[in-house]
Structure 1
């Protein structure tokens, strides 16, 4: 008799996407330089962003689950103005015990350039496994505004994050030197961890904000006033402001975060935030 051949577990398709782009200053406005997009990550270019190039990224896979890989690389060349956002909130779905979804964002800016990273919320579902890296490389007097909002569970659906994992790492360099690093990790019973007074105090949404560039300290007083009751802001060093906000849910987080972004960017939010 022929020996039984064990059946292998079918491989689930994994979503992969990558966008690489650059922005160039020409005649007082910023225009698209290079662009390469592949897989399920796309780039859209709305009109009416003033002298800045506005870019909206879109994950056509509809969310993130185990084994997905997304990578964005964006550069503002010398003197350029680049604003990046997302078409909608990103969603990290249940991944079980499988490998996590991984997202990497690499931003760079040349002398005199400005780059704003303003994605909408990432929503974690119960059982999600997500690892992210945000890397910013600045040259000379370049400026970066970096924002990442997170929502832990769909409270309107009664969802509680009893199991999952998030690992989030930020690095900001100027002229090759590391000026800021932040590592955030939460795993296991996420809701119970966030309920601890020294962690989240019951919060179910948070945002991390960094302003790196000349004159960042001029925003400190306003940032502290806008964060009052929901978080705090301080200077890591000259030209580097850090803020973190906590809120009961995504709606409350937006109420605090939107005025802060407008103040720090000096411009209205990307239109996708209001659609």
Structure 2
């Protein structure tokens, strides 16, 4: 019999399953299941379900396993965010923390995936994935901001690992796929002009909605030199932002998120 070693023992495991359903002219909580170190709160009453995810472990390190399963039912509105920035801490050699997110949006629904920044620390090893399955008539907003160390604290990632995969589909047809794989001396890689030109903060934005076409020029004006915006096809707008640090990234992001969410950005983003 194989004897378990410290590398086999995850520091934290957490899972959340939450959904919104439309009833009596409004959106209400549907399913709600939570276990381990992952919890969800509903801080205020609005015309949609606003869910705030909380990692009670205080961050992610090697061996941790977290999963999120969230969905907006037919004609329902669901917005998900995090209580604060997620932190990926130093991992032991051979260990990787994982975060898997699965999102679904039914016909006529609105789903906003709005986590705050993920901060990578020296020695972190994080593997992250997001899959979103949208019905033809669903509207969807996604933001994924990442900080590669805290520049104000003089932190540089000289030995870390970060893998990220995003897969968005509509009626089973791929709409958007993105991947990031950085390991080793990440700071040196980010300094390369073709990668980040010295930036230490990055965010990806995706907006799937019929009205996305008309927002191309306004969003370019808002982002300015911080990044680029493209219309992949009618109704699918994507943007990538780069900034020297988290403060500069937020200054560029907030006006964009206000526009994409119709000024319904969760309050935790303002704290």
Q: TM-score range by the shorter chain?
A: over 0.9
Q: Tell me by how many angstroms 1:13 deviates.
A: 4.4
3-state SS of paired residue (2:94): coil
1:76 is aligned to 72
3-state SS of paired residue (2:225): coil
2:165 is aligned to 169
Determine the C-alpha separation between the residues in 2 that align with 1:45 and 1:174.
28
3-state SS of paired residue (2:218): helix
Corresponding residue to 1:238 among 234, 238, 245: 234
Deviations 1:35-87 (A, max 9, x none): 11111000100113x21100000000000000111100001000000000000
Corresponding residue to 1:155 among 121, 129, 151: 151
Determine the C-alpha separation between the residues in 2 that align with 1:242 and 1:8.
45
Q: TM-score, normalised by structure 2?
A: 0.96
Determine the C-alpha separation between the residues in 2 that align with 1:10 and 1:107.
33
3-state SS of paired residue (1:23): strand
* Structure 1, unaligned runs of 5 or more: 1-6
Tell me if structure 2 keeps the 8 A contact 1:141–1:214.
Answer: no
1:126 is aligned to 122
Q: How does 1:1-275 map to 2 (within 5 A)?
A: 10=6, 12-48=9-45, 50-275=46-271
Q: Which has the larger radius of gyration?
A: 1
Tell me if structure 2 keeps the 8 A contact 1:21–1:74.
Answer: yes
Q: Tell me by how many angstroms 1:10 deviates.
A: 4.1
Residues paired across the two proteins, number: 268
Across the aligned residues of Structure 1 and Structure 2, the Cα RMSD in angstroms comes to 1.4
Determine the C-alpha separation between the residues in 1 that align with 2:133 and 2:90.
32
* Structure 2, unaligned runs of 5 or more: none
